[in-house]
Structure 1
Amino acid sequence: MLRSRILGLRRVIFAVPQVAVPRLTPVRTYKIKQPCDAHMNELPIPCGPWQPWYDAKQSFYNKILIGGVLWFLFSFAMMIMTDSIYLHFAPPSHPGPPSDMVQDCEDE
Protein backbone atom coordinates (compact mmCIF):
# COMPACT_ATOMS: atom_id res chain seq x y z
CA MET A 1 0.00 0.00 0.00
CA LEU A 2 2.76 2.40 0.87
CA ARG A 3 4.61 1.37 -2.25
CA SER A 4 1.63 2.16 -4.52
CA ARG A 5 1.24 5.59 -2.91
CA ILE A 6 4.95 6.38 -3.47
CA LEU A 7 4.77 5.27 -7.11
CA GLY A 8 1.60 7.32 -7.65
CA LEU A 9 3.25 10.37 -6.06
CA ARG A 10 6.32 9.84 -8.25
CA ARG A 11 4.16 9.80 -11.39
CA VAL A 12 2.52 13.06 -10.37
CA ILE A 13 5.81 14.83 -9.59
CA PHE A 14 7.74 13.70 -12.65
CA ALA A 15 4.90 13.85 -15.11
CA VAL A 16 5.73 15.82 -18.26
CA PRO A 17 2.99 18.28 -19.10
CA GLN A 18 1.54 17.74 -22.53
CA VAL A 19 2.53 20.95 -24.29
CA ALA A 20 2.23 21.43 -28.01
CA VAL A 21 5.81 21.21 -29.32
CA PRO A 22 6.46 22.68 -32.76
CA ARG A 23 7.86 20.24 -35.28
CA LEU A 24 11.45 20.87 -36.27
CA THR A 25 11.21 18.99 -39.52
CA PRO A 26 8.73 20.10 -42.15
CA VAL A 27 5.91 17.78 -43.03
CA ARG A 28 5.76 16.96 -46.69
CA THR A 29 2.36 17.10 -48.21
CA TYR A 30 2.01 16.15 -51.81
CA LYS A 31 -0.79 17.64 -53.80
CA ILE A 32 -1.49 16.74 -57.35
CA LYS A 33 -1.83 20.01 -59.22
CA GLN A 34 -3.81 20.11 -62.36
CA PRO A 35 -1.62 21.21 -65.27
CA CYS A 36 -2.48 24.62 -66.57
CA ASP A 37 -2.11 25.13 -70.28
CA ALA A 38 -0.18 28.21 -71.36
CA HIS A 39 -2.02 30.89 -73.24
CA MET A 40 -1.29 34.25 -74.82
CA ASN A 41 -2.52 36.24 -71.81
CA GLU A 42 0.57 35.19 -69.81
CA LEU A 43 3.04 36.77 -72.25
CA PRO A 44 4.51 40.17 -71.34
CA ILE A 45 3.22 43.10 -73.34
CA PRO A 46 5.90 45.46 -74.62
CA CYS A 47 5.33 49.11 -73.91
CA GLY A 48 7.21 51.42 -76.23
CA PRO A 49 9.64 50.78 -79.08
CA TRP A 50 12.19 48.00 -78.60
CA GLN A 51 14.89 49.34 -80.96
CA PRO A 52 16.49 51.93 -78.60
CA TRP A 53 16.72 49.35 -75.80
CA TYR A 54 18.20 46.79 -78.18
CA ASP A 55 20.76 49.29 -79.54
CA ALA A 56 21.83 50.28 -76.01
CA LYS A 57 22.34 46.62 -75.01
CA GLN A 58 24.30 45.88 -78.19
CA SER A 59 26.48 48.93 -77.65
CA PHE A 60 27.31 47.71 -74.13
CA TYR A 61 28.11 44.18 -75.35
CA ASN A 62 30.26 45.51 -78.21
CA LYS A 63 32.30 47.60 -75.74
CA ILE A 64 32.88 44.52 -73.60
CA LEU A 65 33.92 42.53 -76.68
CA ILE A 66 36.38 45.20 -77.88
CA GLY A 67 37.84 45.53 -74.37
CA GLY A 68 38.36 41.77 -74.19
CA VAL A 69 40.06 41.60 -77.58
CA LEU A 70 42.37 44.52 -76.70
CA TRP A 71 43.29 42.93 -73.37
CA PHE A 72 44.05 39.62 -75.10
CA LEU A 73 46.28 41.32 -77.68
CA PHE A 74 48.10 43.31 -74.98
CA SER A 75 48.74 40.26 -72.80
CA PHE A 76 49.80 38.14 -75.80
CA ALA A 77 52.26 40.85 -76.91
CA MET A 78 53.67 41.10 -73.38
CA MET A 79 54.18 37.33 -73.24
CA ILE A 80 56.12 37.37 -76.49
CA MET A 81 58.17 40.48 -75.56
CA THR A 82 59.20 39.11 -72.15
CA ASP A 83 60.02 35.64 -73.56
CA SER A 84 57.45 34.03 -71.30
CA ILE A 85 56.27 32.03 -74.27
CA TYR A 86 58.11 30.94 -77.40
CA LEU A 87 55.96 30.13 -80.41
CA HIS A 88 58.68 28.80 -82.77
CA PHE A 89 58.03 31.31 -85.52
CA ALA A 90 61.67 30.96 -86.68
CA PRO A 91 64.63 28.71 -85.97
CA PRO A 92 66.25 29.31 -82.57
CA SER A 93 68.87 32.05 -82.44
CA HIS A 94 71.34 29.77 -80.65
CA PRO A 95 71.75 26.52 -82.56
CA GLY A 96 73.07 23.37 -80.92
CA PRO A 97 76.79 22.65 -80.41
CA PRO A 98 78.97 21.76 -83.41
CA SER A 99 79.04 18.11 -84.37
CA ASP A 100 82.68 17.66 -83.29
CA MET A 101 81.72 18.52 -79.69
CA VAL A 102 78.97 15.89 -79.58
CA GLN A 103 79.98 12.45 -78.43
CA ASP A 104 78.32 9.55 -80.14
CA CYS A 105 77.07 6.78 -77.97
CA GLU A 106 78.33 3.32 -78.77
CA ASP A 107 75.54 0.80 -78.61
CA GLU A 108 76.93 -2.62 -77.71
Structure 2
Amino acid sequence: MFVSRPIVSRLFQQTARRYHGESHFKPPSMDELPVPAGSWQAQYDANQRRYNAALLFGLAFTAGTLVVAKASGLVYLNYSPPKSLD
Protein backbone atom coordinates (compact mmCIF):
# COMPACT_ATOMS: atom_id res chain seq x y z
CA MET A 1 0.00 0.00 0.00
CA PHE A 2 2.79 2.44 0.85
CA VAL A 3 4.70 1.50 -2.28
CA SER A 4 1.83 2.59 -4.54
CA ARG A 5 1.46 6.03 -2.91
CA PRO A 6 4.65 7.55 -4.44
CA ILE A 7 3.83 6.09 -7.83
CA VAL A 8 0.30 7.45 -7.85
CA SER A 9 1.39 10.86 -6.57
CA ARG A 10 4.11 10.96 -9.22
CA LEU A 11 1.54 10.23 -11.94
CA PHE A 12 -0.70 13.03 -10.73
CA GLN A 13 2.19 15.48 -10.67
CA GLN A 14 3.12 14.74 -14.25
CA THR A 15 -0.41 14.75 -15.64
CA ALA A 16 -1.25 18.00 -13.89
CA ARG A 17 1.38 19.75 -15.97
CA ARG A 18 0.41 18.17 -19.28
CA TYR A 19 -3.11 19.52 -19.66
CA HIS A 20 -1.93 22.30 -21.99
CA GLY A 21 -1.59 21.50 -25.63
CA GLU A 22 1.33 22.64 -27.65
CA SER A 23 1.33 26.39 -27.70
CA HIS A 24 2.80 28.58 -30.37
CA PHE A 25 3.01 31.55 -28.03
CA LYS A 26 5.26 34.34 -29.20
CA PRO A 27 6.33 36.68 -26.41
CA PRO A 28 5.35 40.30 -27.07
CA SER A 29 7.99 42.76 -28.14
CA MET A 30 8.37 46.54 -28.02
CA ASP A 31 7.49 46.72 -31.72
CA GLU A 32 3.89 45.70 -30.95
CA LEU A 33 3.22 48.63 -28.59
CA PRO A 34 1.10 51.49 -29.91
CA VAL A 35 2.92 54.57 -31.11
CA PRO A 36 1.90 57.77 -29.31
CA ALA A 37 0.19 60.34 -31.50
CA GLY A 38 -0.93 63.88 -30.78
CA SER A 39 -0.02 66.28 -28.04
CA TRP A 40 0.16 64.79 -24.55
CA GLN A 41 -0.66 68.21 -23.07
CA ALA A 42 -3.91 68.48 -25.04
CA GLN A 43 -4.95 64.99 -23.95
CA TYR A 44 -3.96 65.72 -20.35
CA ASP A 45 -5.98 68.96 -20.33
CA ALA A 46 -9.02 67.19 -21.80
CA ASN A 47 -8.78 64.47 -19.16
CA GLN A 48 -8.45 67.04 -16.37
CA ARG A 49 -11.54 68.90 -17.60
CA ARG A 50 -13.51 65.65 -17.55
CA TYR A 51 -12.22 64.67 -14.10
CA ASN A 52 -12.93 68.12 -12.67
CA ALA A 53 -16.45 68.08 -14.11
CA ALA A 54 -17.08 64.69 -12.47
CA LEU A 55 -15.69 66.01 -9.18
CA LEU A 56 -17.88 69.12 -9.26
CA PHE A 57 -20.95 67.06 -10.16
CA GLY A 58 -20.26 64.71 -7.25
CA LEU A 59 -19.80 67.59 -4.79
CA ALA A 60 -22.98 69.33 -6.01
CA PHE A 61 -24.97 66.09 -5.83
CA THR A 62 -23.73 65.41 -2.28
CA ALA A 63 -24.50 68.96 -1.13
CA GLY A 64 -27.95 68.83 -2.76
CA THR A 65 -28.70 65.50 -1.12
CA LEU A 66 -27.70 66.82 2.31
CA VAL A 67 -29.80 69.97 1.88
CA VAL A 68 -32.88 67.99 0.82
CA ALA A 69 -32.43 65.46 3.63
CA LYS A 70 -31.99 68.23 6.23
CA ALA A 71 -34.95 70.23 4.90
CA SER A 72 -37.24 67.19 4.92
CA GLY A 73 -36.38 66.37 8.52
CA LEU A 74 -35.08 62.89 7.74
CA VAL A 75 -31.73 63.52 9.38
CA TYR A 76 -30.46 65.47 12.35
CA LEU A 77 -26.86 66.49 11.76
CA ASN A 78 -25.98 67.11 15.46
CA TYR A 79 -24.72 70.65 15.02
CA SER A 80 -25.44 71.36 18.67
CA PRO A 81 -26.84 69.51 21.68
CA PRO A 82 -30.57 68.89 21.54
CA LYS A 83 -32.78 71.46 23.25
CA SER A 84 -34.41 68.82 25.44
CA LEU A 85 -33.63 65.26 26.34
CA ASP A 86 -37.16 64.05 25.50
Runs of 4+ in 1 over 4 A off after TM superposition: none
- Paired residue secondary structure (1:63): helix
Cross-structure match for 2:43 = 53
Give TM-score scaled by structure 2 length: 0.64
CA shift, 1:31, in A, is 4.7
From 27, 33, 36, give the equivalent of 1:37. 27
Relative contact order, CA 8 A, sep 6+: which one is greater?
2
Aligned counterpart, 2:63: 73
Q: Give me the CA root mean square deviation.
A: 1.8
Q: CA deviation at 1:74?
A: 1.3
TM-score by length of 1: 0.53
C-alpha distance in 2 between matches for 1:54 and 1:80: 39
Superposition deviation, residue 76 in structure 1: 0.7
- CA deviations on 1:26-78 (whole Å, 9 max, x unpaired) are xxxx8522221111110000122221012112101211111110110111122
Question: Aligned residue for 1:105?
Answer: none
Separation in structure 2 between the aligned mates of residue 60 and residue 50 of structure 1, nearest angstrom: 15
User: What is the distance in 2 between the residues matched to 1:62 and 1:53?
Assistant: 14
Percent identity between the two aligned chains: 30
Point out the structure with max Rg over C-alpha. Answer: 1
